[in-house]
Each structure stands twice: as C-alpha cells, then as structure tokens.
Amino acid sequence: MKRFLSIATLLVSTVFVLPTVASVSPVKAAPLGVYIFNTPLPTNTGLGFCEAGTVKGCIDSITIDGNTLVPVSTPQGARYGIGGGLYSGPCRFVETTVSQCEYPYMVLYPFGGVGNPNVPLTNVVVNFRRALNSHPTASVGTAIVNGSLQSFTPAVPGLRDVATINANTVEVHSASTGYCLGWVTEIDGCVIGDTGTSKVANRISMLLLPAMRSSVAPPDSVDESCKAINPLNPCLVTIFDSASRGGWVDTDASVFGLTSMDRYTGAAQLKIAGPHHKTPVNGVSELNLSYFRMFLTSGYLSNSFGLTSGQANDQSLPVKRTTTTGSTRPATQYIPSTDGLLISSTGIGFSIPTLSVQRTYVLKKNKKITADAILKAAGVFQTKQFGAAKITVNTKNGMTYAGKRYSFSKVRTVLVSIKYKSSKTTWSERQLTVRVVK
C-alpha cells in the first residue's frame, strides 16, 4: 500500500500544473466537465463514475461550489480534473476474515488551460458509492482530507451504500515538487525548502479507507490470495477497527502520510511536512503553522484508549509533535459529542513532525485497578477473545499485584509492558504509560 500511494502521488503531481486561484466568487452554472486521470498502477482498478452494472467502488456524484460535475472523455472538454485511482489491497477487521479492500484516492483541481485560468474551487461534495458486496470491510468508513472537512457520512454494508464527504479548500504553502507533494508515504526522503515557493487555494485531496487502523497490531502477514492475483503487490494485510467507521482526519500541511498506529505504544499517528515559512508576499514571509484535526468515534475511542469522549483531555490523551530533536505539545482542544471526540491542534511548526495521540493512564498513588482496566487503557481489551494477556509487574517502579488488583506506590511515570494475543496464533507486545500522582 505504501508503494502504490507514493507512486500515485508522484504521477498526479508531476503530470498536472496547478494554478494559484485569485479570490473569485462562485458562479452558478450548468453542469461542468471533469476529466479523470487514473494512474497506470497494477493496484489501480480504475477510478470512475458509477454506471449501470458497476459493482466496484465508484463516484456517484460530485459538486464543486454548488455546480454538478459530469465526466468527459478528454481533458479538452473539462473544467476540472481528478487525479488518483481506486487502489486495492488485503485488509480485515479484527473480527473478520481477510478481503480485498478498496482505497479510493482523489486530487481535485481546476484545469488552468480551460476557460478562466483562475477557476474557483472552494467547496467540494463527493458522494462515493462503496463496493457492492456484503463483506464488512466493503465500507467507506474513514476520510483523510487535505483541506477542511465540513461533514462526513460513512457507507457501511447493510446501512448505507453511498458515503458523503463535504470539504472546503484551504491555502497550502509548498516548498517541494514532484514526489513530495500531497500524499507521500516515505516523507523522510523528501527535501523540503525552508521558505514556500508556491501556494495553492483551489486544490483538495482525499483518501477514503474502510475504517481507521486498529490498535490491535499482530505481526505483519502476507495474504497469499493477493499474491496470486498480483505478485508485485506486497500484499501485507492491514487491520482496521470496524468501530471507527465515521472517523476522519484533516490537515493543511503540503505533504502528509498515511495515518498509522504505533504497535508498541498504541498511539494514533500522522506524519506531515511543509516549509518553515510561507510563500513570500512583497518579499515578506510569515511563519508557516499548520493544523491537525482528528475525529474519533465513541467506539474507537473506547477500543483504542479505554476512554469516553468526556474523559479525554490533555492529561489522559495528549497530542504530541515529535521530531528528531524532541517532542512538544501543540495547542489542542478536546470537543466531546454524543458520537465521539474531535481533537483539534493548531500552531504546528515544521519541517517533518509526527503528530501522535496516545493514552496516558493517570492514576492516584496506591489506588487499586484491575487487569481489564489496564488492557482497556492499552487498547488491547478486545483481544481477550483470543486468550489471556500477560501483564509484567514493574516492581522496580513501585508496581505491585495482590488480590487480583494492581497498584503503584511511587509518584512517577511508569511503563507497563503487556504481552497479548493479537490473533489466535500470534503474540504481540504493548507498553502503557501510567502517570502516578498523589
């Protein structure tokens, strides 16, 4: 999955030159043409609009600033373009078998050479129909957007066949080209300039996934059925959490990777990149600061961190910005709702930080807790279905076990090691950070 997304980004970003838009008010008009450029990758089964008989995932409809887009067969007849593809790879939920999953990736932009070169693109509404099969992973359950997500309604088998993504464009400053624009999986290899060389405010990209990555992390495995179909595909099985469907992430960073889950800490992560300073205006360049937002559904918040939306805060679920020189804590808001938790961080500097959301179990000295409480906080409680976990008692740091309860006698931060059954046949390890207070 890493390889095909990075190549897709390279092809899309190098084929199309994207203009900077001036401030132009949207004008209502007749349906506008859109041309789809599919990357020629073996894992791309072809992104397109839905037609009679289509069973794979497809675009049901798209509107830009209230105008409906209609597909055209040549770029010459298009006002807008979509670069990307409908990629595939093996995946499963913790509780299901492996299936071939779809990962639609779309970059929407105006064609500068058609009509007005400053074609506006402010708001996009994409209705995307999921693959029409009954396997639970045939979902459009998570959206990752380079822009400002306004609303997201997932598509889930048995409930809804069409997902709706409503998003606004934002100003993005770049100091890189080619491979290092948009979605990149090997960000550390990118050369990012210190000062922006271009800014774009009429482009938006989105990656749609079956769900968010599961906190349960068994050793990597290869799906042999996938290998038989495409020997060039790594065919590593990605494990998602069905309870996370409805979650999303957005950012205005010019370069960004796939969301991931740290298999040892259970932290949800996203790596981003961009120039330290914005593109100069009249010779003056301001500091380039980014935002990062992540919406976690109530079910995912419980599965991954053992929290309700009302319990999450900067102590129990801190956001960190980590680089090779250390970690900082960006300004973050925790906004609970009946459906989950919105985490919103701002003022994030560059050049290539990793943003992480990780559980810290804050516990009073000598308070007794159960093994289940530790497993829930570590994000591995659901694995009890595969067998009992083994919690190592960190006696050196004041951790004790008596009467089927754990307690901590020293005021300090303690790492608790857990060995758990990540499947019926495999073991994995997790470390939970426990902060003991008076």
> For residue 338, is it within any domain?
no
Q: pLDDT of 318-354, one tens digit each? A: 999 998 888 999 999 999 999 999 999 999 999 789 9
> For residue 210, is it within any domain?
yes
User: Cβ contacts of residue 359 below 8 Å, gap of 6+?
Assistant: 266, 304, 305, 306, 307, 316, 317, 377, 378, 379, 432, 433
Cα 156 to Cα 138: distance, rounded to the nearest angstrom: 7
In this prediction, residue 112 carries a pLDDT of 67
Q: pLDDT of 401-429, one tens digit each? A: 999 999 999 999 999 999 999 998 999 99
> For residue 234, is it within any domain?
yes
Q: Which two tokens stand for residue 216?
A: 């349960």
Q: Which two tokens stand for residue 197?
A: 């060389």
The conformation of residue 8, written as its DSSP 8-state character, comes to H
> For residue 243, is it within any domain?
yes
In this prediction, residue 22 carries a pLDDT of 35
Share of the chain above pLDDT 90, in %: 72
Helix (H) or strand (E) holding 305: helix 298-305
In this prediction, residue 8 carries a pLDDT of 44
Mean predicted confidence (pLDDT) in 117-140:
91
Confidence grade of residue 183 (pLDDT, cut at 50, 70, 90): confident
Q: Coil, strand or helix: which one is 158?
A: coil
Domain end position, chosen among 198, 228, 253 = 253
pTM of the model: 0.89
- Partners of residue 249 on adjacent β-strands: 144, 294
- Partners of residue 356 on adjacent β-strands: 269, 320
DSSP secondary structure letters along 26-39: ----S-EEEEEEE-
> For residue 337, is it within any domain?
no
Determine the structural domain holding residue 234 and report its residue range.
Answer: 2-253
Cα 311 to Cα 319: distance, rounded to the nearest angstrom: 15
Domain end position, chosen among 223, 253, 283 = 253
> For residue 117, is it within any domain?
yes
> For residue 309, is it within any domain?
no
Counted domains in the chain = 2
The conformation of residue 281, written as its DSSP 8-state character, comes to B
> For residue 161, is it within any domain?
yes
